[in-house]
Structure 1
Amino acid sequence: MMFFFPPDMLEEMFSGLQFKVTLVKWPRVGDTLSLLRQAAQPRQTQEVDAFACCIISRGTATDLLATDSHRLGVRLDTVRHLFTPDYCPRLAGKPKLFFIQTYSVSGPQDCSSRPTGHPAHREEDLETDGYGEPLNVETVPTDADVFWSHCWTDEGQLEEKDHRSVYLQALREAVQRRRTHLVDVHTEMNRVIFDHNRRNPGARYNINLRHTLRKNLYML
C-alpha cells in the first residue's frame, strides 16, 4: 500500500486490515512515478492477496501534480495501467484497490505551463515486470479486478484550518464497521459525501467509482 500526503488515520486503518503499509510523504512528480513503478515490481507483489493504493494529491482532471508547480504530472490512467496484468502479472486475478483524493488546481492546464526539464509522463512511463518464470495471465482481462474510487474537490479547501478530506474520513468510518462488502462501503461513502454537498454547496466533493471486481470483497 502506498500513501501520498496521508493523515496518520489512514496508515492505522489499512494496517488494521492486515495490509503491509508503505508511507510516503510529499513526493514530487518524478518520485511519485518511481514509487508506483517500485510498488508494481515482482518482489513487492508476488506473495500478496490484494493491492491497495491511497493517494492524496493536487491534480487536474487527468493528472497527479504531487508537490510540483507545473500543470502536467503523472496521468491517472498511468497509475491504473501500471498494475494491470500486462505490466504487473503478479497481480493478475487479484483485487487492486485505488482510493484517490485530488485537489483541483485552478488556471490553465496545458503542456505550455510545464517548465523545461520536466518531461511528460505518458505511455513510456509503463514498464513490464521482469520475472524469472512464465506466468499464465492470458486468461485474465486487462481491466479485471480493479476497484477505482476517485474523489476531487477544489484545492482552496487545503487553506482551511485543520482540513480533513470528507471522502477519506467517510472511508475510514465505513471501513471501521468491518465485515462489510467493499461496494457497500462505497455506498455509505456516497451518502456521506452527498449529504455534505447538500449542507455545504460551496465546498463540494465530486466522486467517481468504477469497478471490475469479479469476486465479493469484504473489509474484515
Structure 2
Amino acid sequence: MERTRPTTGSQGRETVGPSNMEDDAKLKFRQQLLSINDNLGTGDVAALKFLCTDFLSCRKLEGVKLGIDLFDHLIDEGFLSAEEPFLLAELLYKINRPLLFKTLGYTSKKVQECLHEKGRVSPYRQMLFELAENTTNMTMKEIIFLLQDKLPKRSTAPLCEEGDKCANNGKSPLDLLTLLEKQSLLREEDLEILEKACEMVSHNLLRVINRYKKAKDNKAANVTQAIPERSLELPGAFSNVKNEPKKKIYKMDGPHRGFCLVINNVKFKSSEREGSQKDAEELERVFTWLGLDVIIYPDQTSEQIIEIMEIWQRLQDHKDRNCFICCILSHGESGAIHGTDEKPVSIRRIMSHFTAKNCPQLAGKPKLFFIQACQGVKVQRPVRVEVDAQVIDPPPMQQQSVPLSESIPEDADFLLGLATIDGCVAIRHIMQGTWYIQALCSKLRLLVPRGEDILSILEDVNEEVATRDNGEGVKQMPQPAYTLRGKVIFPVPSDPPPSEQHQGI
C-alpha cells in the first residue's frame, strides 16, 4: 500500500499525513519503553523474563539483559505494539510496579478490569511467580537440598556473573523453577515434585499451590456444568440452556467506600495488651488503602464502647457509603469483648446497633466486624507471647458459652470474623501484634489486587493462622460467620499496597 505523504495546505503550511502520525505514535511508544527500562532493576528484568516464558523461546530469553531487549523481542513476535501495549501493563502489574504501567496510561483498576478479556499471563505462570516471591533464602536452600539428586550437577554452579554476591549458589527461586521446567520436572499438568518439596519445607508455599489447583478445579467444574449431558448429540441444545444466575456482588464503587472503626483497648485495670498498637496501625494503613475513612478509638470502657456504637448507629453519612467496618482489639470471653474496665460487652449487642431496623442508612449494605479477642479464659504465656484473656470472675450471666450463631444478628448483610473459636485463646506477640490481625492485613494486601472476595480472603487467613505455632504447642483457629447475601469485593486501589508504598519507581 502506498504511504500517504505530507501535503501543503492553502496557506503553504505542510499538513501531517497518516504515516507521519503513525511514526510519531511509534516514537512516543518507544520513548515510553525507554523510560520504563530506565526504572527497571535487575530483579525486575528477571521477573519479566520469567513471566514471558510462555511467549518467547529460551534462546531469546537467555540473551535478555535489559528491559529494552525484552521489549524488542515482544514487539518482533507481535505481542507488544504502540496500538496494543496491554501485555506490558499486565506484566508490570504482576510484578507490582504501578508507577511504571501508569507510563502507558493504565491504572491498577483499569488493568484489573482488562485482565479477564486481554490477560495473557497464564494462572500457572502467575502461581510459579508467586511461589518465587514468597520463597526465603533459607527455604530456597532447603528446596535445593531436597531436590539435589534430581538436578544435574552443573546446576549447582553459580549463575551470577563474576563478582556478584549471591546466596544459594547464585540461584534465585525463579532460576530454580526455570531449571525444573527445563528438566521436565515441573509442568502445568505435573506439580508433584514441587508440591512434595513445599510440603516438607513451607506450608505457606504449599498454600499457594493448593489455591491455584482449587481455582483450576473450580474453573473446570464450571465448564462441565455449563455443558448439558449429550449436548453434542442434540442440535441446538445450548439454546435451551438457562444461564445460572450470577452471584450477587455488593456495590463497592461509590465515591465514598465507608467508615472503619478501630477500638484498640491496651491499658486495662490489671494488664496491658502490648503489641496491640502494631495491629491498630496496620489496620489503619490497609483499610485506608482500600478507600475507607478509618477512625481509631484507644482504650474504651464497656460503657464507652456502647456509646460509640450508638453514635455511629445514628450517623446519616452512612447513606452515601458502600459499607461499614468495625475492628475491636481487646480482651474477651465467650461471646463478648471487654472494655478497659474489664466488664464484658456482648458481641451480638455491639452488632445489633447496625441492623436494617436500627440503622436504616446501612440497610442492604455489608457490615463487617473483626474481633481480636480471646473467647475463653485459658491462659498460656510463653516467652514474648501472650494471650488475650484475663483471669477474672465473670458475672453469672456470662458463665455459659454463647454459640457463634447467637453472636451474629439474624438480620442480613453481616460478617463476623473472630480471631479464635469459642472457648479458646487468641495469640498476641508483644512486638509483632496478633496472629489474626496481621494475617488479615497481609491477605488483604495480597488478594484484593487479585479480585478475591472477603470470604475467600478469610479462608486464606484461617489457613495461615491455623498452621502457625508459637514453639510451645499453642495453636489458634479463627472462625468467620456471616449472613451476607453476596460477595464483598473491594475495588483494586490505584496505589500499591501500603507495605510497598515506600518504594520508588
Q: Using structure 2 for the length normalisation, give the TM-score.
A: 0.35
- 1:169 is matched with which residue? 438
1:75 to 341, 346, 349: 346
Residues 85 and 142, structure 1, Cα contact 8 Å, conserved in 2: no
Distance 1:146 1:213 in 2: 6
The alpha-carbon deviation at position 187 of structure 1 amounts to 0.7
- 2:262 is matched with which residue? 3
1:106 to 374, 388, 391: 391
Distance 2:284 2:484 in 1: 24
CA shift in 2, pair 1:108/1:90, >3 Å = same
- 2:127 is matched with which residue? none
Bigger mean CA deviation after superposition, 1-10 or 74-83: 1-10
- 2:275 is matched with which residue? none
Alignment of 1:28-67 (within 5 A): 28-67=301-340
| SS of alignment partner, residue 218 of structure 1 | coil
- 1:124 is matched with which residue? none
Residues 61 and 104, structure 1, Cα contact 8 Å, conserved in 2: no
CA deviations 1:89-148 (Å, max 9, x no partner) are 1111000111110023234322599xxxxxxxxxxxxxxxxxxxxxxxxxxx95211111
1:190 to 433, 438, 462: 462
Q: How many residue pairs were aligned?
A: 188
- 2:105 is matched with which residue? none
| SS of alignment partner, residue 196 of structure 1 | coil
The alpha-carbon deviation at position 9 of structure 1 amounts to 1.1
AA aligned to 1:196 is R
| SS of alignment partner, residue 219 of structure 1 | coil
The alpha-carbon deviation at position 31 of structure 1 amounts to 1.0
2:413 to 142, 145, 162: 145
| SS of alignment partner, residue 108 of structure 1 | coil
Q: In the alignment, does 2:478 pair up with 1:219? A: no
CA deviations 1:189-212 (Å, max 9, x no partner) are 011111014x64643323221112
Residues 2 and 24, structure 1, Cα contact 8 Å, conserved in 2: yes
The alpha-carbon deviation at position 2 of structure 1 amounts to 0.8
AA aligned to 1:2 is L
**Structure 2 portions without partners, runs of 5+:** 1-259, 265-278, 374-387, 399-408, 492-505
AA aligned to 1:187 is E
Q: Using structure 1 for the length normalisation, give the TM-score.
A: 0.77
Q: In the alignment, does 2:288 pair up with 1:15? A: yes
Alpha-carbon RMSD: 2.4
Alignment of 1:116-127 (within 5 A): none
The alpha-carbon deviation at position 218 of structure 1 amounts to 1.2
The alpha-carbon deviation at position 154 of structure 1 amounts to 3.5
- 1:205 is matched with which residue? 476
Q: In the alignment, does 2:362 pair up with 1:91? A: yes
Q: Which has the larger radius of gyration?
A: 2
Distance 1:78 1:21 in 2: 22
AA aligned to 1:167 is Y
Distance 1:63 1:112 in 2: 12
Distance 1:112 1:87 in 2: 25
Residues 410 and 483, structure 2, Cα contact 8 Å, conserved in 1: no
Question: Larger relative CO (CA 8 A, sep 6+): 1 or 2?
Answer: 1
CA deviations 1:60-103 (Å, max 9, x no partner) are 1122212113xx42111101111111211111100011111002
**Structure 1 portions without partners, runs of 5+:** 114-140
Distance 1:106 1:202 in 2: 21
| SS of alignment partner, residue 79 of structure 1 | helix
